[in-house]
Amino acid sequence: MPERRLTVACAVLTLLLVACVVAVPGASTPSAEASEEPTPGPSTSEAATSEAASASPDASESASPSATPDPNALELEVIGCPGGVVLDWSPSTNPQFHHYTALRSRSATIAPDYPPIAPAVDWGDTYATDPFVTSAVDASIIPSNQRWNYRVMAYALDGSVLSASPVRAARLSDVQNLGPLIVTTTADGRTHLTWRAFSGFSGCFSSYRVLFGSGSPPSTELRVISEQDAASLETDALHSGTTYQLRVEALRATTLGSFVTGETSVVSYTIP
């Protein structure tokens, strides 16, 4: 009887031990390998974003700074016309400004120094002490196929260069023929003149000048006409019985000079 009780007790104890093992699975200490498992890294998309961010420099560093215009630089435009070249430039804003001078050269390189360094020359028609007088002409050369280079400088009182324009080039052609000047007298005694209108670029035209006089060529102004397409004039300013020399010229004028861009022949006419 005692042996049976002992057998039952052992069986009960065995059942209790099994129950403990089932109830506490994995109660053993984790292995060193498990404890050293690496921390999960960022996802693929996060890594790509991070990589792109590091590859792209900051916008403020990558953007090229815009060029700052030189406040002392002069702009220059030159126009080749029949009979001459027109120069127009921007005004100097330098407080030390004293005068402008333009230089001309066969070479595309024109040093701004004054006196000019050969082959550059000063033809003498561009000196201006007013900063707002910014146009001039060059009618001192013979028309040809030669392209002439120009540069305008602003100088201080001591002759030092304050600012300079880029070099611009142009060529001038022969004065345009405005045809024969035809002179007649109208029924009411007025003198009627007709000519061929100037057909060149409008930038080469300022006005017509109708000239008369007793000598040839005539030099007295009878009328100034500003419309480029004008091709006739009627006047009662000429005296009956007098013989006049007559001519019409097309002009391009600037503050610092002018030149003839077109002209008619000289006509001798006696007013009836």
Amino acid at 195: W
pLDDT of the residue at 71: 59
Q: How far is CA 50 from CA 44, 61, 220, in A?
A: 10, 19, 85
Using the 3D structure, point to which of 170, 189, 206 is the last residue of a domain: 170
Q: How many structural domains does the chain have?
A: 2
pLDDT of the residue at 147: 97
Domain co-membership, 116 together with 150: yes
pLDDT in tens, the chain (272 residues): 444 544 444 454 454 444 444 444 444 444 434 334 444 444 444 444 444 444 443 433 334 444 444 656 899 999 999 999 999 999 999 999 999 999 999 999 999 999 999 999 999 999 999 999 999 999 999 999 999 999 999 999 999 999 999 999 999 999 999 999 999 999 999 999 999 999 999 999 999 999 999 999 999 999 999 999 999 999 999 999 999 999 999 999 999 999 999 999 999 999 99
What predicted TM-score, i.e. pTM, was given to this entire model?
Answer: 0.74
The answer to whether position 36 is within a domain reads: no
- C-alpha closest to that of 110 among 137, 72, 160, 149: 149
* Cβ–Cβ < 8 Å for 193, 246: yes
Domain of 220, in residue numbers: 176-270
CA angle at 53 for the pair 49 and 58, rounded to the nearest 5°: 155
pLDDT of the residue at 1: 46
CA atoms within 13 A on the CB side of 90: 14
d(Cα 87, Cα 254) in Å, to the nearest integer?
9
Domain co-membership, 198 together with 240: yes
Domain co-membership, 127 together with 146: yes
201 alpha-carbon distance from chain centroid: 20
The answer to whether position 48 is within a domain reads: no
Q: Which two tokens stand for residue 201?
A: 């670029």
DSSP string, 24-76: STT-SPPPHHHHTPPPP---HHHHHHHHHHHHSPPHHHHSPPPPPPPTTPPPE
The answer to whether position 50 is within a domain reads: no
Task: Please state whether beta strands 176-177 and 257-263 pair in parallel, antiparallel, or not at all (unpaired).
Answer: parallel
The answer to whether position 30 is within a domain reads: no
Contacts of 117 (CB under 8 A, 6+ apart): 111
Burial of 64 from C-beta contacts in 10 A (0-12 / 13-18 / 19+): exposed
The enclosing domain of 264 has a CATH number of 2.60.40.10
The answer to whether position 7 is within a domain reads: no
Q: Which two tokens stand for residue 186?
A: 């109208």
The answer to whether position 210 is within a domain reads: yes
The answer to whether position 156 is within a domain reads: yes
| Residues recorded for the chain | 272
Residue 108's beta-bridge partner residues?
none
Domain co-membership, 182 together with 258: yes
Residue 148's beta-bridge partner residues?
170
Helical H runs in the chain? 2-23, 32-35, 44-55, 59-62
Using the 3D structure, point to which of 126, 144, 170 is the last residue of a domain: 170
CA atoms within 13 A on the CB side of 136: 26
- C-alpha closest to that of 183 among 272, 107, 254: 272
Using the 3D structure, point to which of 144, 170, 196 is the last residue of a domain: 170
Domain co-membership, 222 together with 149: no
